[in-house]
Structure 1
Amino acid sequence: MSASYGQFCPIAKASEIFATRWTPLIVREVMTGMHSFNDIHRGVPLISRAVLVARLRELEDHGVIERRPRGADGAGHEYWLTPAGEGLRVVMHALGQWGMTYTHDRIKRSDLDPALLIWGLRKRVDLSMLPDRRVVLRFEFSGVPASRTKFRIMWLILGRSGVDVCMKDPGFAVDLTLRGNIRDYVDVYLGHTKWRDAAGTALQFDGDLRIARAFPVWLRFETVSGRNAPDPHLAARPVAVQTNHSDRLPSHPRGIRARSPGSPRAQNRKRA
């Protein structure tokens, strides 16, 4: 249990529940749709499983989250916010805005975790905008901390039924390969750099032209604007942007070596 400040002040009492190590990040994960223990742990990978169990139990005891049966047979359970937990949304929103405004220069190289970035992108994908087929994105990051080099190359498998994250080659043909420094990708993710300014300069692409033009919309890269935006983890779902579904290909965006989706190379090429 968290220690008491010995004060009746509401800020003190709320801090005894919320302002403990790891707790805001756990609440963030549940608040953004991660309800299983493993999914919560993937969003907070440096916490030990034992500590995560303890924090979840404390949040349940304090009435912030509740456990619900996972299926009709009652096998396993999930974690969901209670009304008290939902009341923390305004707190998390304000905390995210403050962090976006005042902590950008505190991001160290050791904070630049590719796995956490890809997991964040997975949560951000607008499934309703995806085509009626599987889309495979391969990310190749430079500038990765020495402790995270095993995540230098990762894959996102996009589909309307869900998004998968792969740390090993899934064996599918790659539609688009994205290359760049992990810090540049984090800046785009947080909105401190606009996608259209980084595309073709700091960040390079190779692959299907139509996928290259559409995926920034799918991943909602342009819906955050750095210091003036809410935390991307907690931003409200934006209105879907309508894309052009005609057969005519748009003009080439900067930095993309395009191939026609119907070409033999596009159909047969597989990434190692």
Structure 2
Amino acid sequence: MSEQVKQVAIEEFQQAKVLARDAVRSAAYLYPLKGIVYFFTHRSLWKPLAEKLVPTLSLGLGVTLFMFTVTYVPQAAVLTLVNGPLAIVTTILLVLSEASTIFNVLSKNFLIDDALIDTFDGTLVSRGCTQLVSTERQIKSSSDPIGRLGKIAKKPFAKFTPQAIIRYFLYLPLNMIPIVGTVLFVILQGRRFGPNAHARYFQLKQMKKQEKEEYIDRRKAAYTSFGVPAVLLELVPIAGIFFSFTNTVGAALWAADLEKGQSSTESESTTAPNLRNQAELAKKAE
């Protein structure tokens, strides 16, 4: 039995090491930061946020204050039993996570879903991926990326499902494990967040369910590495609304780079046969 346990532990460690290596190589964790820089240096992308700023900030402030007023003390009392002095920090992170989840459910379902779609599509247009965006919405003539966005065919962002809420609360007990538990909680949240950030990209690519699942599975390490810093940014009280938009920009920048990489690969795959054909024709001519 002990040998079997040891073997399983070794296999899990090796798998974790491979995933960590793939995550680092993907550099996907940089895109939330790139999204911040790109958003603040491209004023044309500010319009969707500006239109929703006041009601969304009010919602975020209200949810955060309510959660700290009602839930901080009882949760801190429970976590103190297992975390000791660290309970102050772990409880803050826990309440912020809870407030962020509630805020995301409300805002993305009722306030900013259209604005996030426009931000994602506008970023793709600004990066020269107009043809990709045109598969799901009209593109108008304008020098402003947001101004070029016409009528949208259908919305890609799925409503927050009961399964997602249940899964979230199943993860909550992890915060009772000092430090390690909180880290695992954020990682698990990030693993879910990553693929969700590309929901619009999958729709623009017109991927079917199985194709999308296979695509995500091949890049699960990259999506987790994108999701972890993105989740941490959106945990920031009130400012999380800004980071919802910058994360969307970062996801769109990543999608644009994936598209360019794919186009480059396709170009190389078609160029090579052409070169071979030219070489054969030259031999025949000789």
Structure 1 length as normaliser, TM-score?
Answer: 0.29
Structure with more of its chain in strand, by fraction: 1
Structure 2 length as normaliser, TM-score?
Answer: 0.28
Structure with more of its chain in helix, by fraction: 2
Higher-RCO chain (CA-CA 8 Å, sequence separation at least 6) = 2
